[in-house]
Structures are given as structure tokens and as C-alpha cells.
Amino acid sequence: MSDISSRLADIRKRIETTCQHCARDPAEVHLLAVSKTKPISLVEEAHRAGQQDFGENYLQDALPKTQGLASATWHFIGAIQSNKTREIANHFDWVHSVSSEKIARRLSEQRAPELGPLKVLIQVNTSQEHQKSGVNPDKALSIARFVAEQQNLEPAGLMTIPAASADAELQRQPFRVLRETRDHIRDTTGIEGFQHLSMGMTGDFEVAITEGATWIRIGTAIFGSRS
């Protein structure tokens, strides 16, 4: 078994154990392998080991991978510039980082209809950090409604990148905020399929799972430290 295969197996075991502890079905938690800055050879190795979903932050770094491994499912998880929306719309299956009506509109208008709807998560700034992208929790509802009106988008849930904390309760709080925000939007709008919570990374994914994560974004624990 290769290093990447064994790391993937270890993460999947940790997901299963965490789900057992909080009475969740492990099938509800999806592993997104964050392959940003990593060569396609490592992505292919992870794919051969059974990993299907990969996340990328930087468009130019991602395009050779999305084109070279089209059988994988590709998620864009980075900040979105207006001049990059056309390529993001047409080379990815999911986008986790929509935080404005302008970007949502451009993604929908520029998505080739034959590809089917682009699954969209709204990025929420749960820690209220000025340097981070994302809408305030109280603004997420209006963005969700707007996304639902776009012909080539499918609103699928929310994403967050909270502030890191060594305090267990402080670490848990932004994940809880995201879950409660998702529940409020779902109850208020009735948007079908608005269920996903993309939250938790290598250092905190187990806490995120206990608060309802459906996508955990893992890079370092699979591919090692970034260059």
C-alpha cells in the first residue's frame, strides 16, 4: 500500500470512528482531497486508491488536472475572480466558495447547459474575519434564494473556513453556526437538496463531523505539507 493509500485509509477510519461516537452514518460524510499545488501524479495515485473528489484553489494550477483526470469529480474551493468564472463554470462539478450574486450570476450565465447544473455552496464567514471571503451568516439566505433562481446552478448548501482555535468549544462554535444557518435557510426556503456543509480540515475535521459536516476538506493529511 502506497503512502497516499494508507493515509486515505486512515482518514476514512477516523471518519467512521467519529461518526460512531456521534451517532451519524459515515455515508453522510464525504471526503474532499485538497490537491492544490500538488502534481497530477499524486492526484492520480489517490484516484487509483479510490478517491473520487478533489478540491482546487487556484484555477491555472487546476486546469491541467481537471483536463488530465476528467473521470474525477472536481470542486473549486478558492476565492473566485470575475475574470475566472467562465473556466470555473465549465471545468468543475462543484463550487464551494460563492459569496456574491454577481459571481453566482456569471457562473450560471457562463456554464454550458449540456454540462448540467453546477452544484454551488455559499461561503459563510462564520468567524467574522475581515481578511477572509464569505458572507455574514445573516446574508446567506438572500444569496441562497438568488442561486436557486439561476438556471444553470444548483444550490447545495454552505461552506466555511473558520478561525483556528486551540479551545475545543471555540473550535466547535463556527461549525454550529454554519449548521444552524443551513437549517434556517432550508426551513425558510424549502430549497430541495440544500443539505451540505463543507467544513473541517486536517486539524479539525472530527469536530466538524460532530457538528454535521457533510464535506470535509483534507489536504495535508493525504498529500503532505504544501511546497
First to last CA, the chain: 24
pTM comes to: 0.96
pLDDT of residue 196: 98
pLDDT of residue 1: 59
pLDDT of residue 171: 87
Buried b (16+ CB within 10 A) or exposed e, 159-171: bbbbeeeeeeeeb
Q: In 3D, which of 157, 103, 163 has the Cα closest to residue 128?
A: 163
Do residues 37 and 61 make contact, with C-beta atoms less than 8 angstroms apart?
Answer: yes
**Quick one: which H or E segment has residue 87?**
helix 85-91
Using CA atoms, how far apart are residues 77 and 36, in angstroms rounded to an integer? 10
The beta strands (E) that lie in 91-136 are given as 94-98, 118-123
pLDDT of residue 212: 98
Between strands 73-76 and 94-98, the pairing is: parallel
Which residue type, as a one-letter code, is found at position 39? P
Domain 3-223, what fold? TIM Barrel (3.20.20)
Cell triple for residue 171?
473550535
Which residue type, as a one-letter code, is found at position 141? L
Q: Tell me the domain boundaries of the chain.
A: 3-223
pLDDT string in tens for the chain (227-residue length): 579 999 999 999 999 999 999 999 999 999 999 999 999 999 999 999 999 999 999 999 999 999 999 999 999 999 999 999 999 999 999 999 999 999 999 999 999 999 999 999 999 999 776 667 799 999 999 999 999 999 999 999 999 998 888 887 888 999 999 999 999 999 999 999 999 999 999 999 999 999 999 999 999 999 987 65
DSSP helix/strand/coil, 191: coil
Buried b (16+ CB within 10 A) or exposed e, 128-147: eeeebbbbebebbbebbebb
Using CA atoms, how far apart are residues 201 and 206, in angstroms rounded to an integer? 9
pLDDT of residue 129: 64
The phi, psi pair for 78, rounded to 5°, reads -100, 180
